[in-house]
Amino acid sequence: MAAKRRLSKWHSFLWLLILVAVAVGMGNRGERADVLLYNNAGKILGTVPTDRTLHLLHEGQTAPREPDNVVETRRLECPTVAALELDDATAAGCFAALPLGPQDTAVLLHKLSEQGIRNLAISSPLAWQENAPPIARQMVALSLSRFEHTAVGLRGRTAADADFTPAVLLSSRIPAEQVEGDTTGLPSCNKVIENDLLYISEAQQLCWAPDRLEDERLTQNAASFTERSFPLLVRWNGEILPTLPLRLAMQIKGLSPSQLKIRMGKDIRLGDITLPLDEHGRTRLPQAAITTFKTTDVIDGRLPAAAKKAAIALLSQPTDGKAEERRPQLLAATISQLCATEIVEQHTEPGAPGLSLMYHNPVKGWLPLCILALAALFAVRVLPYFPAILRYIVLLLALGGIFRYAQELMQQGSWFHVSTAIVTWLVLCLALTVLHPTKMKGRKR
């Protein structure tokens, strides 16, 4: 017959008192540990972002807000470019003879410079019917020199017998190492269409750029292009050259050809801005700003305020004298987009409301208290009789129950003192190593 075992009631009572004393004595002393436990658990479970802090609150408390965020935004700001089309119909109201001669052209340019226009791109044939005297052509060149920056368009075409690239364009050619990708989609030409201004000595001081190319619709017909710019680049005898809008933008920004970085079909970098670029050398015009004015406004000195504020203008003269409204607007919009500056702004956004859990007392009320007391009594009075392996299983289940209960409360927005429960559990483990039932001695008959 197996010997009976006996566990001292006094020892059990003593450890019961110790368990109660530890649970009550801990109080909120382990709250710092609770904060660490809940924050680490929340980040592991994914309920608390890694850059946020979870606050454990008591009744009447509120969580502090997260620190304010400084958000940096970048945007492109395009200057307004004024467009003036000098077709025969509009010029007839201001000038006696058509087509315009060099003297009238010089007067118009002088009027523009007097009214606040400092940067000018001119897309014009610059060809006069009568053989203009050198002094008249010099007047045009002198009027162009009054502007801070000027780009003059040069027409070209593709011929069976190619000419050498004009000397006035060689200084603006873009080095091959600055261009990546396939350039065969760019407009091309190999022969200049001469004008009456090109070969005078004063013209050599002007900045020339390819403009209207024969048989290249991208440089002539702008009727179908509303979202894409005028081509920024052309191939002239294999050289990659900036067109009229890009040439003026480079002057305004103070950029040399070697400072450009071009990736065909991807983007083009102009100083501190980078713009998308398609296979035909065009960019998009999302921020471009333009305004238009009439020849009479210039001659009468009544240039609109928007045009004066722009300080950048495009003067376009069609080759046949017939108005082509969309092309000047496209050229002006392209210049506006290329002259954009990047605006960096910092905004302070209020911090988000703090993440928090509200304290929940698990033994509030007589029923939870009675259940907890019975569990403690079971642990010190009955559990010591269990085989060792069963005791370990029960203890592990108890620890898992603590964590499970904490998780459920956390999902409900509450918390309790996990640190107190863990310390009490550790004391119980110690108690079970001490509480051993002893065999009862048999009585003598």
pLDDT band at residue 372 under the 50/70/90 scheme: confident
- Whether pLDDT at 249 is above 50: yes
Provide the pLDDT confidence category of residue 351 given band limits of 50, 70 and 90: confident
**Banded pLDDT at 1 (limits 50, 70, 90):** very low
CA pair distance 269, 340, nearest whole angstrom: 12
Is the pLDDT at 433 greater than 90? The verdict is no
**pLDDT at residue 4 greater than cutoff 80:** no
Choose from 29-38, 96-105, 240-249 the range with maximum mean pLDDT.
240-249
pLDDT category of residue 7 using cuts at 50, 70 and 90: confident
Beta-bridge partner residues of 157: 191
Per-residue confidence (pLDDT) for residue 180, from 0 to 100: 95
* Higher per-residue confidence, 156 vs 93: 156
| pLDDT, average across residues 197-206 | 84
Predicted pLDDT at 445: 46
pLDDT at res. 278: 94
Record the tokens describing residue 100, joined without a space.
Answer: 């315009």
Between strands 261-263 and 267-270, the pairing is: antiparallel
The model's confidence at residue 130, banded by pLDDT at 50, 70 and 90, is: low
Angle at 86 between CA 85 and CA 91, to 5 degrees: 135
In this structure, how many other beta carbons lie within 10 angstroms of the beta carbon of residue 142? 13
Sorting pLDDT into bands at 50, 70 and 90, what band is 377? confident
Contact 322/378 with Cβ under 8 angstroms? no
Look at residue 175 and tell me whether its pLDDT is greater than 80.
yes
Label residue 444 by pLDDT band (50, 70, 90): very low
Six-digit token string for 351: 């911090």
Give per-residue pLDDT as tens, 26-74: 878 888 999 999 999 988 888 888 888 899 999 888 888 888 888 888 8
User: Letter for the amino acid at 406?
Assistant: A
Q: What is the pLDDT of residues 156-170, one digit of tens each?
A: 999 988 888 998 999
Bigger pLDDT: 1 vs 71: 71
Pairwise CA distance, residues 384 & 399, whole Å: 17
According to DSSP, residue 186 is labeled: S
Query: Given a cut of 60, is residue 198 above it in pLDDT?
Result: yes
pLDDT at residue 154 tops 60 = yes
The answer to whether 157 and 236 are in contact (CB under 8 A) is: no
- CA 131 to chain centroid, in Å, comes to 56
Mean per-residue pLDDT of the chain: 87
Task: Work out the angle at residue 60's Cα, subtended by the Cα atoms of residues 59 and 63, and round it to the nearest 5 degrees.
Answer: 95
Q: pTM for this structure?
A: 0.70
Share of the chain above pLDDT 70, in %: 96
Antiparallel, parallel or unpaired: β 239-242 and 233-236:
antiparallel
Question: Helix-strand-coil percent breakdown of the chain, rounded to 5?
Answer: 40, 20, 40
> Using 50, 70 and 90 to split pLDDT, how confident is the model at 322?
confident
